[in-house]
Amino acid sequence: MKRLDALKFGTAALLIMPTSLSVSAQDKMKMTTDIPRSIMSPGTMETRIGTLKLTDGFPDDATVAKVYDNLDFQRGLQAYLAALPAVSIAGFLKGFSEFGPVNQTVLISEQLLDAKSLFLTANTTTIYNLLYLDTRNGPLVLEIPPEVLGPIDDGWFRWVTDVGITGPDKGKGGKYLLLPPGYTGPIPDGYHVARSRTFGNLMFFRAFLKDGDPKPGVDSVKKNLKVYSLSQAANPPPMKFVNISGKAFNTIGPGDYSLFEYVNRVIQDEPIDAVDPDTLGLFAAIGIEKGKPFAPDARMQKILMDAAAVGDATARTLTYRTRMKEGYFYPNSAWVTPFIGGSYKFEENGAVNLDAKAMFFFYATGVTPAMTMKMVGEGSQYAGAFVDAKGSPLDGSKTYRIRMPPNIPAKDFWSFTVYDNQTRSMLQTDQQSPAVGSLTKGLVTNADGSVDVYFGPTAPAGKESNWAQTIPGKGWNILLRLYGPLEPWFNKTWRPGEIEPI
**Phi, psi (5° rounding) for residue 380?**
-150, 155
> Hey, what long-range contacts does 352-357 have (CB within 8 A, 24 or more apart)?
353/324, 354/81, 355/318, 355/322, 355/324, 356/324, 356/327, 357/85
pLDDT of 28: 83
Cα separation, 225 vs 105, in Å, equals: 11
pLDDT of 7: 37
Mean pLDDT value across residues 52-64: 97
Whether residue 17 has pLDDT greater than 80: no
CA torsion, points 451, 457, 462, 463, in degrees to nearest 10?
10
Mean pLDDT of the chain: 93
Cα separation, 227 vs 141, in Å, equals: 6
Query: Over the stretch 342-380, which tens digit does the pLDDT of each residue have?
Result: 899 999 999 999 999 999 999 999 999 988 888 899 878
pLDDT of 379: 79
Whether residue 263 has pLDDT greater than 70: yes
Cα separation, 354 vs 426, in Å, equals: 26
pLDDT of 12: 41
Whether residue 4 has pLDDT greater than 50: no
Q: How confident is the model at residue 26 (pLDDT cuts 50, 70, 90)?
A: low
pLDDT of 427: 98
Lowest mean pLDDT among 48-57, 69-78, 333-342: 333-342
Mean pLDDT value across residues 168-187: 97
Cα separation, 101 vs 339, in Å, equals: 33
Mean pLDDT value across residues 229-254: 96
Query: Over the stretch 264-307, which tens digit does the pLDDT of each residue have?
Result: 999 999 999 999 999 999 999 999 999 999 999 999 999 999 99
pLDDT of 65: 98
Which amino acid makes up residue 417? T
Q: How confident is the model at residue 94 (pLDDT cuts 50, 70, 90)?
A: very high
Whether residue 341 has pLDDT greater than 90: no
* Percentage, residues of the chain above pLDDT 70: 95
Q: How confident is the model at residue 24 (pLDDT cuts 50, 70, 90)?
A: very low
Helix, strand or coil, per DSSP, at residue 176: strand
What is the rounded end-to-end Cα distance, in angstroms, of the chain?
67
**Phi, psi (5° rounding) for residue 415?**
-160, 155
Q: How confident is the model at residue 9 (pLDDT cuts 50, 70, 90)?
A: very low
Cα separation, 91 vs 254, in Å, equals: 7
Mean pLDDT value across residues 97-116: 96
Cα separation, 293 vs 315, in Å, equals: 27
Distances (CA, A) of 239 to 48, 110, 214, 250, 338: 57, 15, 20, 23, 34
> Measured on CA atoms in the order 443, 445, 451, 452, is the torsion positive or negative?
negative
Distances (CA, A) of 472 to 235, 398, 443: 56, 8, 25
Provide the CB-side half-sphere exposure for 258 (13 A, CA): 7
Whether residue 20 has pLDDT greater than 70: no
Q: How confident is the model at residue 179 (pLDDT cuts 50, 70, 90)?
A: very high
Whether residue 1 has pLDDT greater than 70: no
Distances (CA, A) of 99 to 103, 104, 124, 154, 255: 12, 11, 21, 21, 24
